[in-house]
Chain A
Amino acid sequence: MSVVTETTPLLSDILADLKSEAGLRTAAHEALEQLGLPGNKSEEYKFTPITRALEKNFQLAKKNPSSEIESIDSFSIPGIDANSIVFVNGVFAEKLSHYEQTDVFIKSISGTENGFGTLADFKTDPFVAWNTAAWSTGISIEVKANTSVSKPIVLHYVHDSAAGEVKSFIRNIIRIGKSSSVTVIEKQDTLGDQAGFSNIVTEGFVEENAELSLFSLQADKGKRFHFGQTTIWQARDSRVNSFTLTLDGKLIRNNFLLVLDGEGIESHMDGLYILQGDTLADNHTVVDHRKPHSNSNELYKGIIDDNAKGVFNGKIYVRPDAQKTNAFQSNRNILLSDKSTVNTKPQLEIWADDVKCSHGCTTGQLDDEAMFYLQARGIDKVTARAMMLYAFAGEVLDKINSEPLKKYFDTLISERLHKNF
């Protein structure tokens, strides 16, 4: 990764703010100093001016306001009985959280967990470095072998910015034992109208034959700026199903890396972004096939309106050992306005010679001929448009394997697309 170094006052502020501690935090602190923050020439952040957005909207010296939120009921997901973990302004809100430890061990993160810091690479990405040096809270989720965790675990990343801007640095670690399964759902919400920046790094270890379903719901109506790094390591015969739905936020950057480090692995990485206003959503994904006989399937779709911007960058690596790999990737976008944009870049790097791989991306407008066909049957333009867009989005939605969650996402999408049929 090439990061064009930038020494800005912001960087000095960040570095001054970090306490010098021993171990990983110090190493990350130094890495950040070396890397600098990405400028506008940085390849990895070319379309996502996150440094400038932070400079413009935040004063790092300001401490987070305290929060007196008493309930997050309005943020809960209907129809889902979940273990719910709540973070408010970068602090684990024990009082607002409720969870059982019957089939899963959930505890506040310490930084000494087995594997901590080994997946999320702070030496290449400055925001991961910043998180590694500055994280204040987070959760460790551990599932023993042969356990199917009955309730999904919902991680609520709440900002209460009524009394001032918020910065939150959260660090999670998930470890799923052999032949076990768990569902984790991340959700962002804001109370208050000041800006908030979240930097969330999650490392996941999916052991042999285990299964992780990971959903991320990014529909924060507040002034959310977000950087996320999720890195999941998969052992042989394991499964990962992921789905990222982005509807709102000021600037959302998702780095998502799957490491397929065994045979017989099945990975699904799906996403849908339906953007309006001036939202910028950037999905940078990597699927790294290291061993033979594994399958990955990635589908990201976008509908972009107004001044919104979509960015997609999808890398697939097929290492020399990874013969008989099946790896598919597709990114399809519909632009609805003259000012909406999308930048999409699929990258396939294959070192093995006996594999099936494909990637493709399309960007277009709504199909005029299809619109005319619907209208010629008596359907008004607004409904015809909603039908087409809903059908486009539905292909990704159909891949969700949890019925209540699919229903909830469907409600959000229908509302966004003005579905009236």
Chain B
Amino acid sequence: MLSIKNLHAKIEDNQILNGLNLEVKPGEVHAIMGPNGSGKSTLASVLAGREEFEVTEGTVEYQGKDLLDLAPEERAREGVFLAFQYPVEIPGVSTINFMKTAVNQVREARGQQPLDAVSFLGLMKEKMKLVEIDQSLLNRSLNEGFSGGEKKRNEIFQMAMLEPKLAILDETDSGLDIDALRIVANGVNKLRDKNKGIIVVTHYQRLLEYIVPDFVHVLYKGKIVKSGTKELALELEAKGYDWIKDEVAVV
């Protein structure tokens, strides 16, 4: 469903991605790990369409379409979802109103009727359970004054509401205690199915005990330098990244 070939991207004058290749098929969970500054978040941002990043070379094909050609909202309507590393606080816009607008714009783009208030609330109640999020939180301004854990749960709640085909979780586990992590991971696992592709960008192997990936990739200096299964993550946890850096240097 997603095919990234030889992707190069930069922000201002900093070249960050240097020929990244990745294939994601429906039903697969891919974990992307790597040391700080290796380009993990840049990859997530480029896929979601953040404007500051400029793609200088390479292609990204998503369900037969040129993903890079689409505006951020078009990507979302095509089923791409980015769970933000740092969810934005937007004073004055309640999560409920925001989600209602988003869900209905996405439905409209997919040729579906907008949800009326009753059906929307029904859907919301159902999805709230997934991430154990309280309605009072959703009545408040989007992410404003939320704890780190609440923000991340809100991301997964939004993901559940929008029913994406390709979800990219950008360090969704960072800063979470073990209970919050378990809730977030459970939410993701419940949404896992054979039609969905999931990319989990993470710093810590810990998350992968809860969201078990099919593949683990190591990103270093803007390229995937090593791929394997979940055992690779355990090895990284035990040995750190230096041996990978050494391997790359030898090659």
Taken residue by residue from 199 to 222, chain B's Cβ proximity to chain A (1 for < 8 Å, 0 otherwise) reads as 000000000000000000000000
**A residues with CB within 8 A of B:** 367-370, 372-381, 383-384, 387-388, 390-392, 394-395, 421
Known: A372-B50, A391-B90. A378 touches B97 (CB 8 A): no
Contact, CB under 8 Å: B101 / A394: no
| Pairs across A and B, CB under 8 Å, 8 listed | A370-B90, A374-B102, A375-B76, A378-B73, A378-B76, A381-B71, A391-B92, A421-B101
Given contact pairs A376-B49, A376-B72, A378-B106, A383 touches B101 in the complex (Cβ within 8 A): yes
Q: In this complex, what residue of A is CB-closest to B142?
A: A373
CB distance from B33 to the nearest CB of A (A): 23
Q: Which of B48, B92, B101, B105 contacts A376 (CB 8 A)?
A: B48
A378 with B92: CB separation less than 8 A: no
Which of the 9-residue segments B16-24, B80-88, B115-123, B175-183 touches chain A? B80-88
Q: How far is the CA of A55 from the CA of B48 in the complex (A)?
A: 55
Report how far A359 CA is from B33 CA in the complex, Å: 46
Choose among B84, B91, B93, B162 the residue with the greatest number of A CB atoms under 10 Å from its CB: B93
Q: How far is the CB of B246 from chain A (nearest CB, A)?
A: 37
Does B51 lie at the interface of the complex (its beta carbon under 8 Å from any beta carbon of A)?
yes
> Does B11 reach chain A (CB closer than 8 Å)?
no
Name the distance in Å between B18's Cβ and chain A's nearest Cβ: 24
- B residues within 8 Å of A by Cβ? 48-51, 71-73, 75-77, 81-82, 84, 87-88, 90-93, 97-102, 105-106, 109, 141, 158, 162
Q: Are A376 and B82 in contact (CB under 8 A)?
A: yes
The answer to whether A377 and B88 touch across the interface, beta carbons within 8 angstroms, is no
| Smallest CB separation, A368 vs chain B (Å) | 8
**A369-B88, A373-B88 are contacts. A388–B93 as well, Cβ < 8 Å?**
yes
Q: How far is the CB of A406 from chain B (nearest CB, A)?
A: 15
> Contacts A378-B76, A379-B105 given; 16 further ones with Cβ under 8 A?
A368-B51, A374-B98, A375-B71, A375-B72, A376-B48, A376-B82, A377-B76, A378-B105, A378-B106, A380-B73, A380-B105, A384-B73, A387-B93, A387-B98, A391-B90, A421-B101
Q: Are B76 and A376 in contact (CB under 8 A)?
A: yes
Which residue of A373, A375, A384 contacts B84 across the interface (Cβ within 8 Å)? A373
Chain A neighbourhood of B91, CB < 8 A: 391, 395
Q: Do A378 and B88 touch across chains, with their CB atoms under 8 A apart?
A: no
Partner of B93, one of A376, A380, A391: A391
Expressed in whole angstroms, the minimum distance between the Cβ of A132 and any Cβ of chain B is 42
Report which residue of B76, B90, B158 has the largest number of chain A beta carbons within 10 angstroms of its beta carbon. B90
Q: How far is the CA of A374 from the CA of B92 in the complex (A)?
A: 13
Contact call B102/A377, Cβ cutoff below 8 A:
yes
User: Min CB distance, A113 to chain B, in Å?
Assistant: 43
Shortest CB-to-CB span from B155 to chain A, Å, is 10
Q: Which residues on the B side are within 8 Å of A377 (C-beta)? A: 73, 76, 98-99, 102, 106, 158, 162
Contacting pair A383 B87 (CB below 8 A)? no
Alpha-carbon distance A370/B82, docked complex (angstroms) = 14
A383's nearest neighbour on chain B, judged by CB, is B101
CA of A242 to CA of B103, assembled, Å? 38
Bound state CA distance, A368 and B90, in angstroms? 12
* Across-interface contacts of B48 in A (CB, < 8 A): 376
Q: Which residues of A contact B106 (CB under 8 A)?
A: 377-378
Which residues of chain B come closer than 8 Å to A374, judged between CB atoms? 90, 98, 102
Closest A residue to B82 by beta carbon equals: A376
CA distance A373 to B101 in the complex (A): 13
Query: How far apart sit A367 and B143, CA to CA, in the bound complex (Å)?
Result: 15
A379 touches B93 (CB 8 A): no
- Please report the C-alpha to C-alpha distance between residue A374 and residue B158 in the assembled complex, in whole angstroms: 11
Residues of B within 8 A of A387 (CB): 93, 97-98, 101
Least CB distance from B88 to A in Å reads 4
Bound form: Cα–Cα A421–B93 in Å: 12
Q: Are A395 and B105 in contact (CB under 8 A)?
A: no
